[in-house]
Amino acid sequence: MKTKILAIMLIISIAIGGSLGTYYVIGATKSELDNKKSNVDSKVSETKKEIDQVEENLSKAVQEVQDLNSKIASYETAISELNSKIEAVSGDITKTENDIVQKEKETNEKQELLNKRLIAIYESGNTSYLDMLLTSKDLSEFLSKYYLISDIAEYDTNLITSLKDAKAALEEDKVKLEENKKSLELAKEEQVQKQDALKTMKAEKDAKVAALNSEDKELQKQLEQYEAEQKAVEDEIARYFAQQKASGVTYENLPPSACGYIFPIPGLSKANINSKKFPSYGTHNGVDININVRGREVVAVKSGTVIKSLAISGSIPNYDENGNKVGSYTSYGEYVMIDHHDGTATLYAHMKAGSRTVKAGQEVKQGQVIGYVGNTGNCQPRPTPSNPYAGTHLHFSVFLWPSGTVVNPFNYLP
């Protein structure tokens, strides 16, 4: 890209130089010079469009790779969910099969008992319960025989009912087993389809990455590293929520309208977010507040407990306003995570070096300053000694209990 732009700028220089040279040699009139200037302006305008197009194409190429990364991540998540479903259904099938074996055994035993009772009744001939009662010598014997007959009749009734219920439960289990087997087959078919689609997407992504120039390849590599580290933080949130759940903590997931967030930078609003779509690219899990943010305070959007207050060390240098190096970072750089005890947690990233004012475990109030906007970590463009403010912005994310799933922050920001 740089080579092409330099070549284009050289053409402009020659065009301008040639025009001025003509002016001095032949003493052109003002109108002629104006015409030549107009021609040069036109060429400059066309060249600028070409430069913009080159940059746009490069940006588009990286964006396409990021979009594929996003699709790959969604397919990997879907495959993981299918794996869990297949495992769960397989477990259900095994349990149901064991239940069927046990219930068939119980049913056979009940049937055998009933058969014995029927044989006993048959062998007793025409003797009825009434005959037994009428042969009683006195009232005491009559009552004894009556209660005995009642117990036998109740036993026979319960045996028949129990056998009927056992057979019905057995049939239900068999129907459930068939449904689970069909569900398992469908899940396996879907799994194969998604694995094939995933393989195709990865091949397409590899081809697109291979077609990138060296600068964009490096940028893409950095973005993928950032996304991997971003995923690690998401997993950390999920683990935190899992630990809370295991210890008996429960939250009510409030709808966004009821969460009562304030904006994380006082005096600013959604208008200070350049990209209004979510995710803004690839698997980006937050929004970047990046307009008129330099030097501003970062505040807790709602009261809560600080989960993490950390600086992630790495190989990306950071500089102060005088161009002096003030540490090396990666990923989110200096960031803070807060649990709001309402089913949400928030993350504030890329804060200014050494500006965090809170610690893990600390209780914070809504509006309390937790740091200052900066550009630590993987910010684009990267800060340099000559431009220490490059890439300055606040990355803001919202996570939901109990899975730690990231959600659209625009729904929560006022």
Confidence class of residue 35 from pLDDT cuts 50, 70 and 90?
low
Give percent of the chain with pLDDT exceeding 70.
74
CB 409 within 8 A of CB 395: no
Confidence class of residue 180 from pLDDT cuts 50, 70 and 90?
confident
Assign a CATH topology to domain 226-411: Glucose Permease (Domain IIA) (2.70.70)
Region 264-276: what's the mean pLDDT?
Answer: 93
pLDDT exceeds 60 at position 133 = no
* Calpha distance 219→52 (Å, rounded): 19
Contacts from 189-193 at CB under 8 Å and sequence distance 24+?
Answer: 190/82, 191/79, 191/82, 191/83, 191/86
pLDDT score at 174: 80
pLDDT score at 150: 65
Q: Pseudo-torsion of CA 52, 53, 58, 61, nearest 10°?
A: 140
Domain boundaries, given as residue ranges, for the chain: 85-206, 226-411
* Calpha distance 296→368 (Å, rounded): 13
Of residues 382, 312, 381, the one with CA closest to residue 353: 312
Region 246-254: what's the mean pLDDT?
Answer: 88
Give percent of the chain with pLDDT exceeding 90.
33
Q: Which tens digits make up the pLDDT trace of 235-244?
A: 889 899 999 9
pLDDT score at 357: 97
